[in-house]
Chain A
């Protein structure tokens, strides 16, 4: 009986110790690869900048989650704001998108950060899978209605993925609304 517990205890102890080391070892690399993804998305959706938007980041809690705003400056003049926005209405849950706005509210570009949409369908919102999201470039939500055409908006939905497309618009709309309400600084 005792040897039984001892054996199981030892196995667990050794495993946990090894895992602790592996965790310590990979922790920085994981944090780095996450940060790299964010920086990459920022560079993609914002016009050229030379400040550090991550340092000037501010948050706003809405609809049970958080929006992150990254102001981009070139020689201290504001050239755009990127918003890390979200929609819980994706086909399989949460979608997070980085969207870059120019100071007048025009969308410069979008980049999907996180999604669990169906491969081959909703997944097309990611630029590497299809050019669907190019349609948002250079559109100003003031005149361009962020909703799929089926719902009376101006967005072409992804074929057979209306739900994913709706969620995408929902996320952009949330970013735009809070950007203008928060007073575009």
Chain B
């Protein structure tokens, strides 16, 4: 059910590589067809700016896909509408009809709330640039629910641009995995609720490099010079660099960060690290241009469908764990509907239905049992349902305020050549 239509695998890889975000792309070839080849890929990259993003996704998915004619006004949970912005290919889609999203349809049937679903988030930075003026001016951005990664969610929390979640409307919040209940940027999950999570580790092809990789330090082996890529996301790359030195990225000192930057800079100058990528690495890994890459778990699961040689390893010193979070922007028109939706997707069966399609880690307890009925093999996959020991050995990155963010990014960007 997850296999795409046959496509030239090299092209499939390249298209996926065109995306800066970490969602798998492969399926879209079976779904979106030509439109995604053109506009979608371009917009996904963020090249051409915000308007490109809207134009591209608009062709396939940007059109609101209201699933019910129910009407109603304002913030009443019964009826009305929900304007929901999400990343592309980040919710289950009906195999027969790409315009049908079973989860959204069931939600509408159950609550009478029509969902206007927008797949217009392609990258955290880009989406932030799009919404910041309105949020800064205290205006409604026309969305009731958006999904952003931890650090960006943290920035919105810091700026006070989010609405507090009324947890009495979300009783299923009790199904949230314990490991995710307390995050540094939102201590009691008052403003955010995870949509999906994923891990950052190392993807490599043992056939090409002829050795096993156990951790990030192995990537500095001179034999691998020029065959290694790192991620251009600062927290992923630097988090692993810090962990490799035995430092906890969630509590590190700035001097330790600087030392890690210097180590990275030397590796770039000596040609050890070939490039910093979005998920282009998946294409390079499959084509044999590189032997190893810092990689996202969901991508690698998808790559393995095509090239079973590719291995994913969580570094012995620790991997990075991140989540994309559902957030309600300040001044949202249908806040209660957004809460009703959060509650809906925190039912284990619904969470299982989404996870079975998107292949990331579901934050909902009980989904593993539920997924076993859909696809027993998936329920066994450590990258989708990591064990407690695996999760114990993961880190998140320290919360940075705006000034720290700028200092950290300036250093990192100077290493990656920008």
Chains A and B come from one and the same complex: no
Residues in A lying within 8 Å of B, measured CB to CB = none
Residues in B lying within 8 Å of A, measured CB to CB = none
